[in-house]
Chain A
Amino acid sequence: METKKMALIATKGTLDWAYPPFILASTAAALGYEVQIFFTFYGLQLLRKDLSVLKVSPLGNPGMPMKMPFGPTWFKGINWNVPNAVQALVPGYETVATALMKKTIANNGVATIPELRGLCIEADVKMIGCQMTVELFGFDHADFIEGIEYAGAAAFFEFAGETDICLFV
């Protein structure tokens, strides 16, 4: 049986959106796929040595339930509909929301992003950083983990054109 292949383009740099590419890549690798992820624009944040820079922002995100990960059941069930104007004005709102999300992740037995990325690396998922956006945003290769290749769109297509699954996340 010929090895199946999957290519992903990861474009988001927040804690919540870090999940889809790493979950799909690690699972595909476990199923025997050869996987490449092309990290571009804000997705480059997912390659940083220090992943604690990843935050989640409920601001302007009406799809995000805002529930507390602690306290009695009735309290956890409350959805805190904080108006956008308040979210924008309160200093540290994003930091608090990120801490609460990390607690929720731990409560639900969901893997952390460093753990999932580590599993991808262990499973030989190939990670490519978009060199153009590295320069555009003033990143340094030293900001990122070892073992990353830097290339552009043409290099992505060489692999993507041969894949069974190709997704933009």
Chain B
Amino acid sequence: MNYDKELDARGLNCPLPILRTKKSLGELQSGQVLKVSSTDPGSVKDMQAFARQTGNELLSTAESGGEFIFLLRKH
């Protein structure tokens, strides 16, 4: 899937992946898509909770080799 911006949050731990995601979304227009990569296993639940509470849509979550890829559409 296409995305408009990419955030590399690999190696960062709670709460940095969420804080950086919030900041990156701020640089996008409504409807644009952000791709986030993370190595923090806690970020899976956190990203879901972030999306639900902020109204941004979590389009997909994927895992491969200890790395998590999230696609978020800005509210």
Contacts and interface: CB of A to CB of B under 8 A. Distances in A.
B13 A109 contact: yes
Nearest to A111: B16
A109 B11 contact: yes
B14 interface: yes
A119 B20 CA distance: 10
B66 to A, nearest CB: 13
B59 interface: no
A119 B12 CA distance: 15
Nearest to B52: A31
B22 interface: yes
A45 interface: no
Interface string A102-120: 0000001111000000010
A30 B14 CA distance: 13
A111 B13 CA distance: 7
Nearest to A31: B53
Contact of B53 (A23, A26, A32, A110): A32
A108 B14 CA distance: 10
A102 to B, nearest CB: 14
Nearest to A119: B19
A31 B54 contact: yes
Contact of A27 (B13, B15, B39, B40): B15
A125 to B, nearest CB: 12
B16 A30 contact: no
B68 interface: no
Interface string B1-42: 000000000011111101101100000000000000001100
Interface of B: 11-16, 18-19, 21-22, 39-40, 50, 53-54
For the complex of A and B, the 4 pairs showing the least CB-CB separation, nearest first, are: A30-B22, A109-B13, A27-B15, A109-B11
Interface of A: 23, 26-27, 30-32, 108-111, 119
11 contacts: A23-B15, A30-B19, A30-B21, A30-B50, A31-B50, A32-B53, A109-B11, A109-B40, A110-B14, A111-B12, A111-B13
Given A31-B53, A31-B54, 6 more contacts: A23-B14, A30-B18, A110-B16, A111-B12, A111-B16, A119-B19
